[in-house]
């Protein structure tokens, strides 16, 4: 029995018309929502960073400079993410048979590099100011700028994380977490300003170094999530749920060799299911289609499944037939 290979090429390339329309519409809608989130957050962070930059010129605060540079970098990460979302809309071709959804993972690498660059700039300026102290004027202005930075970043963080989780975009969620941490580093700027106001000018570069350390922690967590996606890591709970769901379909005697991977912000899967040896090819095809249907409607953000059927007692040879 050759299993469900020919039938599931239909499921993979030319699924039933209503499934195809739903999947295309869903992909376009998630892409549009991601683009809207990037557009609005880019505008909000740009306004925040420009306002802070004006106050950096007035005050000469290195802590505020570090926070401003980081906010500019955070705003600019919207550009590669936006390009990735646009590429993800393109249809699959004979060269790129899965489409260009993985461009989102590459955009995540750009986010990581942007975070690393902002940490380097902030750390360098802080050390330079410790070695060559410079006066910080208008500490109350620095404090106001820090509050502005916190408010802008927190609004952007909530928006990006919320949309990112809804559409399954690890890069957008990581960028939102990045923005949230930027907000707390902005509050650290307020602490530095308070130190300057109370006669401790070294508080400003010391806080700058503290911001650098905070950025490095964000860098570690963001890089971990992004590189997990690059290496096809998925949530083990989703894998367990998929296996239970497949085994729960009437007529399925067993499920094995389940593989899942992210393509952009959508999941794809493939697995082998064991069925009764006396089933006809047509019956096996129908059963495999039912497994696919159950999985797509049970696993969040799973949009495509390739199901191989194997006759009971043929595990040793069936794997070589597909």
With a cut of 90, say whether residue 271 has pLDDT above it: yes
Among 3.40.50.280, 2.40.30.10, 3.40.190.10, 1.20.1510.10, name the CATH number for the domain at 17-230: 1.20.1510.10
The predicted model gives 298-306 an average pLDDT of 87
Nearest residue to 29 via CA among 148, 154, 131, 166: 166
* Separation CA 14–CA 20 (nearest Å): 7
Cβ atoms of residues 182 and 36 within 8 Å:
no
Please list, residue by residue across 266-302, b when 16 or more beta carbons sit within 10 angstroms of its beta carbon and e when fewer do. Answer: bbbbbbbbbbeeebeeeebbebbbbbbebbbeebebb
> pLDDT tens for residues 186-225?
777 777 778 777 877 777 778 778 878 877 887 888 888 8
Domain range summary for the chain, segments of one domain joined by +:
17-230, 234-318
* Separation CA 253–CA 275 (nearest Å): 5
With a cut of 80, say whether residue 290 has pLDDT above it: yes
Predicted pLDDT at 38: 81
Burial class (CB in 10 A: 0-12, 13-18, 19+), 220: exposed
Which residue matches tokens 């949230």?
Answer: 180
Cβ atoms of residues 319 and 303 within 8 Å:
no
Predicted pLDDT at 18: 36
The predicted model gives 139-167 an average pLDDT of 82
The predicted model gives 224-243 an average pLDDT of 88
Predicted pLDDT at 146: 81
> pLDDT tens for residues 122-136?
788 778 877 877 666
DSSP character at residue 127: H
Note every long-range contact of 155-164, with CB atoms under 8 Å and residues 24 or more positions apart, other chains counting: 155/44, 156/41, 156/44, 156/45, 156/74, 157/182, 157/183, 159/37, 159/40, 159/41, 160/37, 160/41, 163/33, 163/34, 163/36, 163/37, 164/34, 164/37
Angle at 98 between CA 29 and CA 110, to 5 degrees: 75
Predicted pLDDT at 136: 64
> pLDDT tens for residues 26-64?
555 566 777 788 888 888 888 888 887 887 887 777 767
313: left (phi over 0), alpha (psi -120 to 50) or beta: left
The predicted model gives 70-88 an average pLDDT of 78
Nearest residue to 103 via CA among 90, 114, 94: 90
* Separation CA 305–CA 315 (nearest Å): 20
For the chain, give the percent of residues with pLDDT over 90. Answer: 11
Distances (CA, A) of 197 to 56, 142, 143, 165, 211: 16, 10, 10, 41, 19
Token output for 153 = 């970043």
User: Best-predicted range by mean pLDDT among 96-110, 166-180, 267-281?
Assistant: 267-281
Predicted pLDDT at 314: 58
Neighbour order of strands in the sheet with 254-263: 254-263, 266-275, 302-311
With a cut of 70, say whether residue 14 has pLDDT above it: no
CATH code assigned to 234-318: 3.30.70.1350
Q: What confidence tier does 137 reach under pLDDT thresholds 50, 70, 90?
A: low
Question: What mean pLDDT is reported for the chain?
Answer: 77
Query: Which string of DSSP letters, residue by residue, matches 194-219?
Result: HHHHTT-TTHHHHHHHHHHHHHHHHH
Residue 28: count other Cβ atoms within 10 Å of its Cβ. 12
User: Best-predicted range by mean pLDDT among 62-71, 207-216, 260-269?
Assistant: 260-269
The predicted model gives 142-167 an average pLDDT of 83
């Amino acid at each position: 029995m050759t299993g469900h290979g020919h039938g599931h090429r239909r499921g993979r390339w030319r699924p039933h018309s209503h499934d195809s329309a739903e999947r295309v519409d869903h992909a376009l809608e998630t892409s549009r929502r991601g683009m809207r989130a990037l557009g609005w957050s880019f505008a909000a962070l740009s306004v925040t960073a420009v306002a802070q930059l004006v106050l950096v010129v007035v005050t000469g605060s290195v802590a505020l400079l570090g926070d401003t540079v980081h906010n500019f970098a955070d705003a600019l990460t919207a550009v590669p993410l936006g390009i990735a979302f646009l590429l993800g809309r393109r249809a699959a071709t004979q060269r790129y048979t899965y489409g260009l959804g993985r461009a989102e993972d590459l955009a995540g690498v750009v986010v990581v590099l942007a975070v690393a660059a902002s940490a380097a700039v902030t750390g360098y300026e802080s050390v330079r100011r410790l070695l060559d102290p410079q006066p910080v004027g208008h500490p109350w202005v620095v404090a106001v700028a820090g509050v502005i930075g916190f408010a802008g970043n927190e609004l952007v963080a909530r928006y990006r994380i919320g949309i990112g989780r809804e559409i399954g975009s690890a890069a957008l969620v990581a960028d939102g977490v990045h923005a949230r941490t930027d907000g707390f580093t902005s509050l650290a700027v307020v602490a530095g300003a308070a130190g300057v106001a109370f006669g401790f000018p070294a508080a400003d570069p010391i806080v700058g170094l503290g911001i650098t350390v905070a950025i490095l922690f964000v860098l570690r967590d963001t890089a971990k999530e992004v590189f997990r996606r690059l290496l096809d890591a998925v949530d083990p709970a989703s894998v367990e749920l998929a296996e239970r769901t497949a085994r729960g379909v009437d007529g399925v005697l067993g499920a094995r060799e389940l593989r899942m991977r992210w393509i952009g912000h959508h999941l794809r899967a493939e697995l082998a299911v064991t069925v009764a040896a006396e089933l006809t090819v047509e019956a096996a095809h129908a059963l495999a289609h039912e497994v696919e249907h159950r999985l797509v409607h049970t696993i969040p953000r799973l949009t495509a499944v390739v199901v191989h059927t194997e006759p009971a007692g043929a595990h040793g040879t069936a794997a070589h037939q597909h």
